[in-house]
Each structure stands twice: as structure tokens, then as C-alpha cells.
């Protein structure tokens, strides 16, 4: 599932989505929302048919292929056909998402828009969440749904309102990675992802989580993806480009708490890919 802890999965999927650049801007502006903004969104009108249109869009996306299902099929093909069967499936595995619109909306509503909820422990210690800004949650959800499926009408209220909202800022510590991402994306290079990528990202993700820097990391990751998508036009960015940039951004977020060798391995691969 999508979450702040595994924001790399969100980035991976949006990099493959045909409307990824629009969705990235939607998410960045959603991250920028403060309580006064949510209160303002609560006052926007919402047509009675909009909820039905959003549900129709969700229903239409549930049958789309997912990477995990294709991975299972690829493993089965490898069992019968050997390594060529798995290799033949790689292009499809790279092109389809891990998750979908339903998971993205849950992520946005519960984590990105955390300020839209009253959260109080109930008598058994679980979280009892009550929407403090229900219309705001719906307006943002309409916008993201419209962007995902290409329904500009569904996204109109959110897009018209959010144009006034500046994108979040990131610290200067990310500037070197942003610049390298821009140049790598424009170069057309298809770098090889090191075999250590998954284990290093796992450690970095937990470091981000334990230091409560999830939102900081997510915003930086989305800003980096925005740069990569822009630099790669008109084609989608290579999988290796996205992977190297994602590693560098996470390592930068927790540079003060991960060991020096891990930080170097996760950042220098991006810089070396340009030589």
C-alpha cells in the first residue's frame, strides 16, 4: 500500500503513469494545505453527481493490471521456460503500477491530509478519526481522481482553487541531487540499479520513519520526480533514473543518522552515472 513510509513506491508508480506530472503537482499542493486552506476548501460547492462520478472512476480502475500479479505470472513462466520467460516479462513489470487509484486516495486522505482530521484515542486505545474538513477531503479526492483517469471536469474545482497555492519548499540540502536528477533525466542515460538498492532503501525508509521526517522526505521525493519527469519529456523516465534519484533523496533526508558508507553509496551512484 502507499504510505509515507514507502513513498518510493508512490514515486515509482507515478513515474510510469501517463498523467504522472499532473498527479505529482496535485500531491505537492495537497501537502501544502494548512488548516486555513482546508477551511476554505470546505466552503466550495460540490455537485451531487460528483461522488457518483468519482466512484465510477474508481470502479473503472480496479481491473487494471498490477505489478505484483504480473510478478507472480513471471515467476510461473520462469519455472516452465527458464530465465528467458522472466526476462520477457520485465518490460511489463516496469510499466504497470504496484497499486492504484484507490490506494492513492487512501494515502492522500489519511496521511497527506492528516490536518483534516480530529484524532482522539477511544476507550480501547485505538484511533477514532473524525473528519474536521469533510468537503476539503472530497474536493482534493475529486481532483486526484480526475487527474488519474483524465476527467478534467471532475478535477476542475480542485485545480481552479489550488492554482493559488505555491508548491512546498525544500531545503538547500537537496539541491545537488535535484541538479543531478535534472541532468541525468535529460541525458537519456539508462543507468543500472545496484543490487544493494533495495536493502539500502529499506534502511533509509526506516530511518526516515523513526526520525519523523516522512513528510519532509515525501515532498522532496515528489519535487525530484517533478524534475525527472520534466527532463525526460516526451518519454517516461527510465526505471534506473527514478531508482537512483529516489535513493539519493532518501539518503539526503537522513544523512545525519545513517552511516557514512551507506550515505555515499546511495548518493554517489547518481553523481557517477553522469560520467
pLDDT tens-digit map of 19-37: 999 999 999 999 999 999 9
Residue 260 inside a domain? The answer is yes
Mean residue pLDDT across the chain: 87
**Regarding predicted confidence, which is higher, 89 or 105?**
105
Task: Name the pLDDT band for 86 (thresholds 50, 70, 90).
Answer: very low
Q: How many structural domains is the chain composed of?
A: 2
Shared domain check, 176 and 200: yes
Residue 2 inside a domain? The answer is no
Shared domain check, 187 and 112: no
Relative to beta strand 127-131, strand 117-121 is antiparallel
How many degrees, rounded to 5, is the angle at CA 146 between CA 153 and CA 49? 60
Shared domain check, 256 and 177: yes
pLDDT in the model for residue 119: 77
Residue 199 inside a domain? The answer is yes
Give the C-alpha separation, 181 to 274, whole Å. Answer: 10
- Specify the DSSP element, H or E, that contains 202: helix 197-210
pLDDT in the model for residue 221: 98
Residue 85 inside a domain? The answer is no
Cβ 99 vs Cβ 2: under 8 Å: yes
Residue 90 inside a domain? The answer is no
Shared domain check, 177 and 156: no
Residue 92 inside a domain? The answer is no
Shared domain check, 251 and 153: no
Cβ 17 vs Cβ 23: under 8 Å: yes
Shared domain check, 141 and 255: no
150-196 tens-digit pLDDT: 999 999 999 999 998 999 999 999 999 999 999 999 998 888 888 89
Q: Which three-class secondary structure state does DSSP give residue 129?
A: strand
Shared domain check, 264 and 191: yes
184-230 tens-digit pLDDT: 999 988 888 888 999 999 999 999 999 999 999 999 999 999 999 99
The answer on pLDDT for 98 being more than 70 is: yes
Shared domain check, 155 and 51: yes
Cβ 92 vs Cβ 85: under 8 Å: no
**Domain boundaries, position 155:** 34-64+100-162
Shared domain check, 118 and 190: no
Residue 23 inside a domain? The answer is no
Helices 239-253 and 197-210, axial angle in degrees (round to 10): 40
Shared domain check, 130 and 250: no
Residue 71 inside a domain? The answer is no
Shared domain check, 220 and 113: no
pTM here?
A: 0.87
Residues with Cβ within 8 Å of residue 204, at least 6 apart in sequence? 247, 250, 251, 253, 254, 258, 262, 266
Shared domain check, 123 and 177: no
Q: Which of 43-57, 62-76, 231-245, 259-273 ranks highest by mean pLDDT?
A: 231-245
Amino acid at each position: 500500500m502507499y504510505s509515507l513510509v514507502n513513498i518510493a513506491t508512490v514515486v515509482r508508480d507515478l513515474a510510469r503513469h501517463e498523467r504522472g506530472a499532473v498527479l505529482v503537482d496535485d500531491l505537492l499542493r495537497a501537502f501544502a494545505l494548512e488548516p486555513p486552506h482546508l477551511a476554505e476548501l470546505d466552503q466550495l460547492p460540490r455537485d451531487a453527481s460528483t461522488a457518483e462520478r468519482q466512484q465510477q472512476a474508481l470502479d473503472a480502475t480496479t481491473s487494471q493490471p498490477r505489478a505484483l500479479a504480473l510478478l507472480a505470472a513471471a515467476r510461473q513462466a520462469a519455472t516452465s521456460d527458464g530465465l528467458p520467460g522472466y526476462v520477457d516479462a520485465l518490460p511489463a513489470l516496469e510499466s504497470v503500477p504496484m497499486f492504484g487509484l484507490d490506494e492513492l486516495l487512501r494515502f492522500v486522505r489519511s496521511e497527506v491530509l492528516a490536518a483534516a482530521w480530529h484524532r482522539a484515542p477511544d476507550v480501547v486505545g485505538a484511533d477514532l478519526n473524525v473528519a474536521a474538513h469533510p468537503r476539503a477531503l472530497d474536493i482534493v479526492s475529486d481532483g486526484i481522481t480526475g487527474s488519474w483517469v483524465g476527467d478534467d471536469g471532475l478535477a476542475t474545482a480542485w485545480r481552479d482553487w489550488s492554482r493559488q497555492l505555491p508548491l512546498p519548499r525544500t531545503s538547500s540540502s537537496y539541491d545537488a541531487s535535484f541538479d543531478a536528477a535534472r541532468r541525468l533525466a535529460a541525458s537519456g542515460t539508462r543507468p543500472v540499479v545496484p543490487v544493494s538498492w533495495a536493502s539500502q532503501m529499506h534502511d533509509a525508509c526506516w530511518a526516515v520513519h523513526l526520525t519523523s521526517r516522512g513528510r519532509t522526505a515525501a515532498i522532496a521525493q515528489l519535487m525530484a520526480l517533478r524534475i525527472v519527469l520534466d527532463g525526460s519529456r516526451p518519454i517516461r523516465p527510465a526505471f534506473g533514473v527514478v531508482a537512483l534519484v529516489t535513493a539519493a533523496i532518501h539518503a539526503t533526508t537522513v544523512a545525519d543518522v545513517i552511516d557514512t558508507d551507506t550515505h555515499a553509496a546511495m548518493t554517489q551512484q547518481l553523481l557517477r552515472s553522469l560520467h
